[in-house]
């Protein structure tokens, strides 16, 4: 059976030729993927649907538009403090937003996450 040609180790700056097909030398093995210990547990499924319904019954309008004096129907259940930033999935941390306001807020959160590291 033919053997693949040796290739340099995939670790930046390492030029050791690797012949076993893994792409890394013995000195630079790939790290196993591990779930972040602080990963937030999200509510899903029917429970989430019920919570969304309750939120929109309590306040059917977009909170951000309402603050600007505009009346727009809320369609998104949004976390005021994002779960990725330590927020909780409780009723005191959620608000109703319309699609454009939710997209704008999500973009700001994504940009913050990129600058954090």
**Per-residue tens of pLDDT for the chain, all 117 residues:** 556 788 999 899 998 999 888 889 999 998 888 776 666 778 899 999 999 999 999 999 999 999 999 999 999 999 999 988 888 888 999 999 999 999 999 999 999 888 875
For the chain, the structural domain boundaries read 49-116
Token pair for 63:
């909170």
- State the pLDDT at residue 36: 66
Provide the whole-model pTM: 0.65
Phi and psi based region of residue 23 (left: phi greater than 0; alpha: psi -120 to 50; beta: remaining): left
Residue 117: its pLDDT value, please?
59
């Amino acid at each position: 059976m033919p053997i693949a040609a040796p290739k340099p180790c995939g670790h930046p700056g390492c030029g050791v030729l690797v012949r076993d097909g893994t792409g890394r030398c013995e000195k630079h093995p790939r790290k196993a993927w591990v779930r972040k210990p602080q990963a937030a547990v999200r509510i899903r499924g029917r429970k989430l649907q019920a919570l969304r319904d309750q939120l929109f019954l309590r306040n059917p309008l977009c909170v951000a538009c309402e603050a600007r004096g505009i009346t727009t129907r809320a369609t998104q259940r949004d976390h005021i403090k994002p779960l990725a930033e330590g927020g909780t999935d409780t009723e005191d941390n959620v608000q109703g937003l319309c699609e454009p306001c939710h997209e704008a807020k999500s973009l700001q959160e994504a940009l913050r996450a990129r600058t954090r590291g």
